[in-house]
């Protein structure tokens, strides 16, 4: 009997199909200089996008005039009487909306990175812990029952923020076990309570008189910046800015926690304590954003993966680039929402889903290792 032998050009101990090397572009960008260059490009893109977005809409204002109106508003300059209407459109209506879109996009990008690291799940996003569902319940309760009337036009936003924090506290209490708060318990508890909050919201809408509760639900579940004002911008902007700075300061512990709780403990990082701190920080940031924009899907899920492909998995680099990428993306998404079917507006969630679903599927096909295996 003859025995089969390996051909001389294919030794049995060698793999006939070696794994492909990482793309050269990714290696170049995954350096401090590459990250700085990427951040600079995104910052310039964000500034240009914001200027264009402020000028575009039902009434188009050229970029030069838009810049002149903004300069006049910031420096106390003068404009002619026949320009007052366009000036008010640019400064009072569009500018706070574009800035709010940039702030929320930056916050979603950063929180998405933190949540995925916190629960060690590539499919996690800022809303996986039930924050958005709790915010919707709070907003609908205020809209249907007329509570917090002393806050005036900010009553619904305050109710949404309170609902988000209440949902966060409930998720934490239920998910906390003898071993502390583990990633799996957090995710399962958040998903389960999200369904419960949605059921409560449906009951409120069904029993509430009139259509106010229904319209409130549509806004908080699909997202939008139509209610943006200068008064609603400072609080959420400060919250997101402080949150992004704190998250970037935790970049090194996040890298260590990604190795697992036991490895993190051996390297001097208390994963349970860090996870608890991240849970509070991301909940406050997400609650503040949901309170002014509703729930906007896919941004916090897809942006972190795209950024990791560009600059690598180091959290210091990712948390430098992700806020800029999220901000630029959200400015363009908001512009599309108010111009595609003008004068009506498309919900932001529709546009982010139309963009996010195919992008996510392409990333999963071409970069499978980022999603937990090939």
Q: Write down the mean pLDDT value for the chain.
A: 82
Compute how many other C-beta atoms are within 10 angstroms of the C-beta atom of residue 44: 12
> Which has more pLDDT, 179 or 276?
276
- CA angle at 67 for the pair 64 and 70, rounded to the nearest 5°: 150
Residue 194 lies in a domain: yes
Burial class (CB in 10 A: 0-12, 13-18, 19+), 26: middle
Residue 166 lies in a domain: yes
Residue 89 lies in a domain: no
Residue pair 356/302 in contact (Cβ under 8 Å)? The answer is yes
Count, residues in the chain: 374
**CA gap 35, 309 in Å, rounded:** 12
Range of the domain at 285: 112-297
3-class DSSP assignment, residue 1: coil
Q: Residue 264's domain is classified under what CATH number?
A: 1.10.3470.10
Residue 68 lies in a domain: no
Residue pair 156/139 in contact (Cβ under 8 Å)? The answer is yes
When divided into structural domains, the chain yields a total of 1
> Which has more pLDDT, 24 or 100?
100
Name the maximum alpha-carbon separation found in the chain. 102
**CA gap 128, 186 in Å, rounded:** 9
> Which has more pLDDT, 250 or 13?
250
pLDDT value for 100 = 95
pLDDT value for 347 = 85
pLDDT value for 209 = 63
pTM above 0.95, yes or no: no
Mean per-residue pLDDT for 116-144? 83
User: Which CA distances in Å does 334 have to 218, 337, 340, 349?
Assistant: 17, 5, 10, 10
Compute how many other C-beta atoms are within 10 angstroms of the C-beta atom of residue 272: 16
Residue 165 lies in a domain: yes
**CA gap 35, 316 in Å, rounded:** 10
Confidence of residue 267 (pLDDT cuts 50, 70, 90): confident
Tokens 């906390």 found at: 176
pLDDT value for 210 = 62
Confidence of residue 216 (pLDDT cuts 50, 70, 90): low
Task: List, for residues 154-181, the tens digit of each pLDDT value.
Answer: 787 888 888 888 888 898 889 887 767 7
Mean per-residue pLDDT for 270-292? 87
> Which has more pLDDT, 172 or 42?
42
Residue pair 53/37 in contact (Cβ under 8 Å)? The answer is no
Residue 3 lies in a domain: no
Output phi, psi for 205, to 5 deg. Answer: -65, -40
Q: Is the pLDDT of residue 3 over 60?
A: no
Residue 73 lies in a domain: no
């Amino acid at each position: 009997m003859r025995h089969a032998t390996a051909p001389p050009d294919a030794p049995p101990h060698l793999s006939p199909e070696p794994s492909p090397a990482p793309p050269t572009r990714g290696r170049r960008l995954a350096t401090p200089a590459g990250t700085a260059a990427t951040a600079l490009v995104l910052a310039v893109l964000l500034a240009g996008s914001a200027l264009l977005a402020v000028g575009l809409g039902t009434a188009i204002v050229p970029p030069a005039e838009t810049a002149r109106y903004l300069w006049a508003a910031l420096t106390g300059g003068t404009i002619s009487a026949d320009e007052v209407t366009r000036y008010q459109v640019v400064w009072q209506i569009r500018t706070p909306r574009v800035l709010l879109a940039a702030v929320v996009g930056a916050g979603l990008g950063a929180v998405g990175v933190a949540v995925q690291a916190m629960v060690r799940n590539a499919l996690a996003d800022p809303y996986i812990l039930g924050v958005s569902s709790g915010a919707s319940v709070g907003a609908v309760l205020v809209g249907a029952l007329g509570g917090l009337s002393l806050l005036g036009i900010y009553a619904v936003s305050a109710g949404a923020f309170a609902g988000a924090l209440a949902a966060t506290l409930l998720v934490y209490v239920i998910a906390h076990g003898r071993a502390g708060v583990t990633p799996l318990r957090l995710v399962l508890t958040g998903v389960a309570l999200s369904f419960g909050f949605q059921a409560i919201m449906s009951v409120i809408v069904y029993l509430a008189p009139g259509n106010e509760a229904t319209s409130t639900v549509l806004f908080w579940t699909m997202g939008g910046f139509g209610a943006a004002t200068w008064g609603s911008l400072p609080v959420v902007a400060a919250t997101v800015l402080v949150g992004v700075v704190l998250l970037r300061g935790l970049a090194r512990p996040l890298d260590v926690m990604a190795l697992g709780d036991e490895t993190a403990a051996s390297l001097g990082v208390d994963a349970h304590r860090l996870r608890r701190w991240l849970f509070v920080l991301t909940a406050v940031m997400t609650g503040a954003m949901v309170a002014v924009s509703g729930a906007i899907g896919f941004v916090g899920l897809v942006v972190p993966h795209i950024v990791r492909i560009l600059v690598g998995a180091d959290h210091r680099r990712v948390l430098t680039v992700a806020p800029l990428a999220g901000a630029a993306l959200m400015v363009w998404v908001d512009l599309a929402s108010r111009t595609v079917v003008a004068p009506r507006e498309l919900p932001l969630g529709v546009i982010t889903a139309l963009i996010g679903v195919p992008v996510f599927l392409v990333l999963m096909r071409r970069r499978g290792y980022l999603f937990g295996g090939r």
